[in-house]
Amino acid sequence: MKRVMIIVSMAVLLSSAVTAKITLPTSNEFKLDNGLTVSVIERPQLPLFSLQLTFRAGSTFDPAGKEGLASLASDMLMRGTATRSDKQIADQIAFGGGTMTNTCGFVAAGFNGEFLTTQGEQAIEILADLVRNSTFATEELEKTRTRTLGFLQSRRENPGTVANDAIWEAILGDSRYAHFSGGLSHSVQALTRDDIVQFAQNHYTPDNCILVVCGDITTASVREWVTKYFGDWTGRAVLAPEETSFPTVTGREVVIYDKQDATQTQIRIGGNGIPLNHPDYPALEVARTVYGGTFASRLMDEIRVNRGLTYGVSCRASRFKPGGLLYVTTFTKNATVAEVIDIIFSEAVRIQEEPMPDSELADGANYQCGTYPLDFETNDALASVFANMWLNNLDKSFYEDFQERLRAVTVPQAMAAARSYFPRDIYKLVLVGKADEIKSQVEKYGPVTVRPFTQ
């Protein structure tokens, strides 16, 4: 009998999370002859393990006019195999206490699962069956399509969701990252079974994925099961070239999505950000934290704490290989829309032009450094980290050096990052609210287009 900690372990050198350098746990990697990459991180503290199978098969691989194909193909992987119905798949996973879902984002698609240690072989066997033997049956495809179309329609009920979709579209224009990864109604409607089968053949191949297993499981066991169930899997990926850059936002544009019954307006303001692994990242992250990244940030302080105009305001940054975007997100009652937007701009200008006190810079870096270990606490989180390294060709230093790079940021560097990326003169402004009550308030920010709330 062994006494162990209740939390999965994380190797951290030194004595303090603020000053510690994160060290990722050892991953035992091996490759099958067919090209399948497997990474095992042994963490035996709890009788649980997580797995992630990640393909380069996200929505940015959708051919033009077939938006939603990657997502629909990914959904179909759970809809039945040669020997299991979709209900049997769900039943067998849940019977032993496990969970598994299919996922599809912009770049990656695949599976995330969490199982009891005792389900080890069963989990790998089911996973292999889904990936290798899905039938993409026509009847199931039509059901999944109908549900997908319903979801796409249902998303349009929520003002926050509509605002988020709209700001991505406004900033990214004709980029493949501009629309929700689930696709567009008209394109999903037109997808055929042949499209899905072709997509699967081109993307769900052993040389185009990584299987990460993390938790109470041994490398030897994983190697045995993966060899047994994936060893004779064949196929070679045929991938469309990935996007290399995002469109550049120029000028100013204001778009109102008119929701006649809205008593509150959703606000999004932003523009281009930075790509993954860009040298400006640490400086921008510190500046973003001070501007709108915490409860004590300047935006929260002025808009929520001092004036009581919102429940939440934050500055968000998303980064991908070809580029990124940065935008402020908040909401306020219709009458105070301009007041809130003015503050968003004035606080951006303040960070860009007035050197922040050294203590505020340090606080921003400390917050990021101190909360950073929480990103590595669970099996799921670590599996994501290792999958992300494979997906984006990153090495451990990307994660392990991050705190050190944050602490090295100077006030001039943070100001320069804010000048380059915070919204000020060039931006897209999206509002979801009652046009009659907000249009006159926002005309000063640029040419206004009013669109119906539901498109």
Partner 1 sequence: MLKRIIVALAAALVLGAGSAWADFQLDVREFRLDNGLTILMLENHTAPVITYYTFYKVGSRNERRDNSGVSHFFEHMMFNGAEKYGPKMFDQALESKGGQNNAYTSMNVTAYYEDFPVEALELVFDLESDRMANLALEEEKVKSEAGVISEERLVGVDNDNEGIMYEELFATAFIAHSYGAPVLGWMESIRNFNRADCVEYFKTYYAPNNAVVAIVGDIDTQKTLKLAKQYLGGLPPGPPPPRVPRYEPEQRGAKRVFIERQAEHEHIMRGYHIGDKDSPDLFTLEVIQFILTTGESSRMHQSLVNDLQLALYQYGGFEWGLDPSLFYYYVAVAPGVDYEATERAFDSVLNELTDNGPTPDELQKAKNSLTANFYKNYKTNNGTAHELARYQTLYGDWKAMYNFVPGVEAVTAGHVKEVMERYFKSKNSTTVILVPEGGQS
Rounded to the nearest 10 degrees, the angle between the axes of helix 120-133 and helix 86-95 is 160
Residue 306's region, left for phi above 0, alpha for psi from -120 to 50, else beta, is alpha
Q: Decide if residue 373 touches partner 1 (CB under 8 A).
A: yes
Sign of CA dihedral 219, 225, 231, 236: negative
Burial 268-303 (b: 16+ CB within 10 A, else e): bbbbbbbbbeeebbbbbbbbbbbbbbbeebbbbbbb
Q: Which is nearer to partner 1, 208 or 384 (CB)?
A: 384
Looking at the Cβ atoms of 17 and 190, the one nearer to partner 1 is 17
The distance of closest approach from Cβ of residue 162 to partner 1 in the complex, given in angstroms and rounded to an integer, is 11
Within a 10 A sphere around the Cβ of 23, how many other Cβ atoms? Answer: 15
DSSP assignment, residue 16?
-
* Rg for the chain, CA atoms, rounded: 24
CA distance 166 to 186: 17
Please identify, among the stretches 197-205, 259-267, 278-286, 409-417, the one whose residues bind partner 1 according to the rule CB under 8 A.
Answer: 259-267
Binding mask 262-301 for partner 1 (x = CB under 8 A): xxx-----------------------------xxx----x
| Residue among 426 and 450 whose Cβ is closer to partner 1 | 450
Contact pick of 24, 36, 38, 48 for partner 1 (by CB under 8 A): 48
Query: Binding residue for partner 1 (CB under 8 A) from 277, 393, 449, 454?
Result: 454
- Detail the DSSP E strand segments found in 127-237: 209-215
CB closer to partner 1, 275 vs 373: 373
Task: Order across the sheet with 99-104: list the strands.
Answer: 28-31, 37-42, 209-215, 48-56, 108-116, 99-104
Residue selected from 240, 305, 335, 408 as contacting partner 1 according to rule CB under 8 A:
305
Site for partner 1 in 147-206 (CB under 8 A): 147, 149-151, 153-154, 156-160
Q: How far is the CB of 80 from partner 1 (least distance, A)?
A: 11
SS3 label, residue 252: strand
Of the residues 60, 187, 378, 441, which one makes contact with partner 1 according to CB under 8 A = 378
* Residues between 77 and 116 with contacts to partner 1, criterion CB under 8 A: 78, 86-87, 90-91, 93-99, 114, 116
Distance (Å, whole) CA 398 – CA 99: 30
Question: Among the candidate windows 237-245, 364-372, 384-392, 417-425, which touches partner 1 by CB under 8 A?
Answer: 364-372
10 touches partner 1 by CB under 8 A: yes
